[in-house]
Amino acid sequence: MNTTTSAATILDVYISEDKQSYYTLITMGNMSFRIALDTGSADLWVVSSACTSSGCSSLPRYQLGYKSLTFESVNDNQTLFNVSYADTTTVSGFVARETVLLNNLTVVNQAFGLINSSNVSLTNDISGVMGLSFSRLSTISDTVANATSIFGSMAQQGQLDYPLFGLSLKTNATGTLALGAIDATTVTNRSRIEWYEVVPFAPYNGTNGTAASYLQWVIELSNITVNGTNVTPQPTYSQSASNHSLALFDVGASGIYGPYQDVARIFDQISGARLVDASSGQWVVPCDLSETISFNFGESNFTLQPTDYLVGPVSDDPYYCLAWPAATAPSHDGIDWQLGTPFLQTVYSIYSFGIDTKEAPMMGLYALHNATELDESVADVSSYFSSASATVDTMLPNYLVSTPVYTTPAYIFNTSVSAPPGLIVSSGLATSTYSPVLGTAATVNASAIPTVDPSPTLFTYIVTVSSGVVSTSVSTASQATVTLGEPPGWSSGAATVHVPTRFVVLALSALLLVVAC
């Protein structure tokens, strides 16, 4: 364990109304925000009161006019922050520093993006994104000295009981994000966690780097089975000596995505499946099916039942259901598979950050489906969608859609630099003041993994009156009322602007550009 004062905490996690993201509550500069979680990125950003574009004008925003005593400007607010996402949406603004509170954990001087322009679609008053990946992936780390991802800050400052976090994602209840430990109410048997070495990546081509480092939460994917029939993944590139495909675990992705060469063979095993959209790589299958899809990362199978991978009946013909995975074009980083929330909802996922010079990053997966449970029947699947009653607004083509053919892009990493899974590196991970307790994926000391309990949501009261009569009642724990995006008791018209205005937002047609002035 770490020799300095450390802690663990657990935050509630909620699914958005559109089912596209999971979010939690954080506090910055005495203001509370709902922030979407993303293990596929590494930066923290929040929309600011200067953002008037359609993507953020109605959201709770960081009030630039409030004199937060913990706000610190970076380069007089002239360090630009720009992020583009795979769906072509973008955010832009500038970099600043602020104190971030996550329950009992306080992260001081955390570098983050204050957004002035955005076309990212956010619901449920979600005001930004908290990236939980490695700092090498951070846009801010590239431009600001001594800036790391928010989890990297906690791990490098030794604030946690252990440098790991765990995610429990639920569709109809409250999930959890545990920081520094794992959720004891979800993981009831730590010996059942299966551990896998994270894959590092060599330096980018054309750079001067000579050593591999950790970039994303990626592990090797060994095998896929459909109802027991093997579909061996075919990697786009030979990234490792084992020649396995690579899979990214991404809570920021609302689907499961894989390469055409794998996805087409998966649906070949399901009678009646057909490709209906070549650009999105989307297949439909008969809704009355019982086939399972399993992913294997070197040990046990992690199995998806039909209700895990079916999106829902299509409005055009409810006999058919849209299904995951969707197929994608080859990626130049060699990450063929992206396992988003449909997969992550079936496991408790653990992300161990690693320790400089001592321990490599690892991922732990704890299956939530009992292996002895019976597979879902056709009747089970039909009942599930009947109760949901909703259909997916889709028009099916009345012709056969051909599988597209792609040209494989050039690999972007330096193939002359070795990057084996489980590589121990000297920097970029947790501070070396931690003592390693996990060991290797093959020899994890499960009993040493710290746990934390969520706060109770129900309380039972037992009252005995003088006559001897005993009464029992159950009540829900009271929830503190939080005003999003505004400090308590503050009015936006009662304060002067705290930071100098360095940006002018110009509306040009449908585009919003941020320029320094």
Active site residues: 38, 250
Pairwise CA distance, residues 164 & 362, whole Å: 9
Per the DSSP assignment, residues forming a β-bridge with 459 are: 475
**CB-based contact 312:322 (threshold 8 Å):** yes
Any idea what DSSP says for residue 218? Answer: E
**CB-based contact 18:170 (threshold 8 Å):** no
Nearest CA to 437 out of 182, 174, 104, 116 is that of 182
**CB-based contact 222:297 (threshold 8 Å):** yes
Per the DSSP assignment, residues forming a β-bridge with 90 are: 84
Pairwise CA distance, residues 317 & 288, whole Å: 13
Pairwise CA distance, residues 325 & 296, whole Å: 15
Any idea what DSSP says for residue 88? Answer: S
Token look-up 């090797």 returns 220
| φ, ψ at 413 (rounded to 5°) | -105, 155
**CB-based contact 64:499 (threshold 8 Å):** yes
Q: How far is CA 316 from CA 276, 322, 325, in A?
A: 12, 11, 21
